[in-house]
Structure 1
Amino acid sequence: MPTTSYWLFVGFALAASFTPGPAVMLSIHNAMHYGWRRALWSSLGNVSGLLVLTLLSALGVNAILHASALAFNALKVTGAIYLIWLGVQQWRGASRGARPLPATSSGAPAPERRPRALYAKGLAVALTNPKAIAFIAALFPQFLSPSRPMTPQYATLTGTFMVISLGALSIYAGFAVLTRKRLRAWFSSGWPQRASGGVFCAFGLGLLRLHR
């Protein structure tokens, strides 16, 4: 693809990645309560989801969602329920404030903060968001040159988008950790977690209003 088109894509990817959404909120929440390193696992899960969504878009799944109201609504409702569930879980856990979750009797981290669980949450947030599928399907073709092989171009755009998304989520997580250290008493009150839970519920309810 032309160099000018590539850097234009980078600009769009930066704007999309730094715009607050479910993935950003999840990264901030995990950073506040489990630390930056553990928040990285959910971010890795999210960018893995972006890779899957790109592959699905290339295979034409987005066309299926546009053509089938049933498929679109099923994915939309699934994503909304998952985001609302995350919000309720965060609200219920607000009594713990920003204190680390206790370890198990064996000394291992509690299930909620294990890398596998955090990675799975990030992956699920990406895969159950039809807006992300639509965004990728609408954005990528604008920067593909029909006269050149598609696979290298898709690989370049996908890799760039994943790196930028991971960087954005890591930056948000870093700011969350710094803020927690400065406002430790407020974070210990549990209100930031309640606010985060409320935002997740709002994202879920907003997803229900999404039309094809």
Structure 2
Amino acid sequence: MTFMTLSTYLLYLAAVSVLVLSPGPTMLMCITRALQHGWARGVVSGAGSITAALGIMLLSALGLGAVLAASETAFTVLKVCGAAYLIYLGIKTWRSPAVAFTPGSVAASTLPSLRACYAQGLMVGASNPKALLFFAAFFPQFLDPAAAWGPQMGVLAATFMAMEMSVLALCSVGTARIAPFLASSAHVRWINRICGGLFAAMGGILLTVRRHA
């Protein structure tokens, strides 16, 4: 790794580990999908969120993160849109039918399509304006301006995506494995309400976030 020192990369690994292991809307989405519709749709939803994260990294590298950091209006608009989507997702999850998922028991016609799961992942991954500000401030610390930008960004992005996907896949598969033990409509109803409430709470908390100059 000629364009990055080992110590810098290990520091990056440690920071990303904290980031991907911290519970948030993406992890909650994957768990909810896995409980309701199986591990595969949880994984696909996670892939959509990671795609959004990659887009945020690239946009931040192009300077759009700095625009949000400097513009109160742009930050507020993105914050409100993100919070509104999380609250909408919370209400939708709360009101979801209390149908327990067990492998092979759900007709394919009643399952959300993989495309729909991926699209929801994209929306959840892009719903938090703090992510754009975070990546704008976070990644430059690990980039050497004297070295080629492309290889460095490629290694940092690939590392984040691999770690995030591993965590989300484990959450999805692990949740789906315990789903049969919760195979009753009463349990599923409470799970939907808890997850829906958490989504809405995250949206409400996002509304309180202030831009730091």
**Contact preservation (8 Å) 1:76, 1:207:** yes
Other-structure match for 1:109 = 109
Q: Distance in 2 between matches of 1:127 and 1:151?
A: 23
Q: Distance in 1 between matches of 2:166 and 2:198?
A: 22
Using the TM superposition, give the Cα deviation of residue 174 of structure 1 relative to its aligned residue in structure 2, in angstroms.
1.9
- Structure 1 54/187 Cα, relative in aligned 2: closer, same or farther at 3 Å? farther
Other-structure match for 2:18 = 15
Other-structure match for 1:180 = 179
**Contact preservation (8 Å) 1:32, 1:180:** yes
Other-structure match for 1:130 = 129
Other-structure match for 1:31 = 34
3-state SS of paired residue (2:109): coil
Other-structure match for 1:120 = 119
3-state SS of paired residue (1:17): helix
Deviations 1:19-63 (A, max 9, x none): 100000000000111111111110110110011001100110111
- Structure 1 56/189 Cα, relative in aligned 2: closer, same or farther at 3 Å? closer
RMSD between superposed Cα atoms in Å: 1.9
- Structure 1 84/97 Cα, relative in aligned 2: closer, same or farther at 3 Å? farther
Q: Distance in 2 between matches of 1:118 and 1:46?
A: 10
Using the TM superposition, give the Cα deviation of residue 175 of structure 1 relative to its aligned residue in structure 2, in angstroms.
2.1
1:207 aligns with 2:206: yes
**Equivalence map 1:61-76=2 (5 Å):** 61-76=64-79
Other-structure match for 2:142 = 143
- Structure 1 204/123 Cα, relative in aligned 2: closer, same or farther at 3 Å? same
For normalisation by structure 1, the TM-score amounts to: 0.91
**Contact preservation (8 Å) 1:43, 1:170:** yes
**Contact preservation (8 Å) 1:98, 1:188:** no
Using the TM superposition, give the Cα deviation of residue 158 of structure 1 relative to its aligned residue in structure 2, in angstroms.
0.7
Which consecutive unaligned segments of at least 5 residues does structure 1 have? none
Which consecutive unaligned segments of at least 5 residues does structure 2 have? none
Using the TM superposition, give the Cα deviation of residue 95 of structure 1 relative to its aligned residue in structure 2, in angstroms.
3.0
State which of 52, 56, 59 in structure 1 corresponds to 2:55.
52
**Contact preservation (8 Å) 2:87, 2:200:** yes
**Contact preservation (8 Å) 2:100, 2:182:** no
**Contact preservation (8 Å) 1:94, 1:194:** no
State which of 85, 92, 96 in structure 1 corresponds to 2:95.
92
Using the TM superposition, give the Cα deviation of residue 124 of structure 1 relative to its aligned residue in structure 2, in angstroms.
0.7
Count of residues in correspondence between the two structures: 207
- Structure 1 89/190 Cα, relative in aligned 2: closer, same or farther at 3 Å? same
Q: Distance in 1 between matches of 2:165 and 2:180?
A: 23
Amino acid at match of 1:38: R
Deviations 1:88-118 (A, max 9, x none): 0011014334468965xxxx533x6100100
Q: Distance in 2 between matches of 1:31 and 1:96?
A: 13
Identity fraction in percent: 38
